[in-house]
Amino acid sequence: MPPLAIVVLISGNGSNLQAIIDAKQQGLAIDIKAVISDRADAHALLRAQEVGIPCHIITAQTHPARTDYDLALQQLLLQIQPELIVMAGFMRILGASLVEYWQGRLINIHPSLLPRHRGLNTHRRALAAGDRQHGCSVHFVSAEVDAGAIIAQASCDISDHETESSLQQKIHQLEHQLYPYVLSQFCLRHITLVREQAYFRGKSLFRRPLSPVSLQPQT
């Protein structure tokens, strides 16, 4: 099977991008065709440049209108022709037509056990809600934010002494294992989206996302 051609969309630090780069260096059969950022100063760009991945920057300053932004992004994506677009801390909401065009080929990682805590500040909200468990989810992107079909989740306990920052650290550690795992399943062409539902080797993941038991925070 040929390596899976992916594009990674980022806005910030890029620790998930780094985990994907590391996994590729350890044998994950992906070809990272490009990294696209909406911020010129994103640290993730340095991580990509370090290993020679082509980088592109499309900012809200040069494309203030959402439709113009999406058009520029779409033109670039059509040139690159990825099999899968991997959002890894990309902080823009994509318009419905772009999302629809790439439906089934556009995924995101979110720092909560979806459908709990969609949106921002998920660690703070999990603590404020008194949750005993927290985690991260990889899901297909749909027009509604953080609401697309869930592919995989990893979770951890919230301890009595947990702080927002200790929880964030745990979740990042889970994310860095979960995203490469999910990509490995895409490489095997095991994951598909059919009528807005995720499937793993033909079996619906609705209510039972992939949940590799071996994934644990290291702290």
Q: Which residues bind ligand GRF (CB under 6 A)?
A: 12-16, 88-89, 109-111, 136, 175
- What one-letter code names the amino acid at 29? A
In sequence order, which residues have a C-beta less than 8 Å from that of residue 137 and are 6 or more positions away? 109, 110, 112, 113, 114, 150, 151, 152, 153, 209
Q: Report the residue number, 105 or 134, with the smaller CB distance to ligand GRF.
A: 134
Q: Report the residue number, 13 or 184, with the smaller CB distance to ligand GRF.
A: 13
Nearest distance in Å: CB 144, ligand GRF: 16
Q: 10 Å Cβ neighbour count for 171?
A: 23
Catalytic (active-site) positions: 110
Nearest Cα to 16, choosing from 135, 109, 81, 154? 109
Q: Report the residue number, 56 or 199, with the smaller CB distance to ligand GRF.
A: 56
CA–CA distance, 6 with 97 (Å, rounded to integer)? 20
* Local structure of 99: helix, strand or coil: helix
CB 29 within 8 A of CB 189: no
**In this chain, which residue has its C-beta nearest to ligand GRF?**
89
For residue 66, with 0-12 CB atoms within 10 Å meaning exposed, 13-18 middle and 19 or more buried, which class applies? middle
Nearest distance in Å: CB 90, ligand GRF: 7
Q: Report the residue number, 71 or 147, with the smaller CB distance to ligand GRF.
A: 147
Q: Report the residue number, 105 or 176, with the smaller CB distance to ligand GRF.
A: 176
Nearest distance in Å: CB 163, ligand GRF: 16
CA–CA distance, 152 with 64 (Å, rounded to integer)? 34
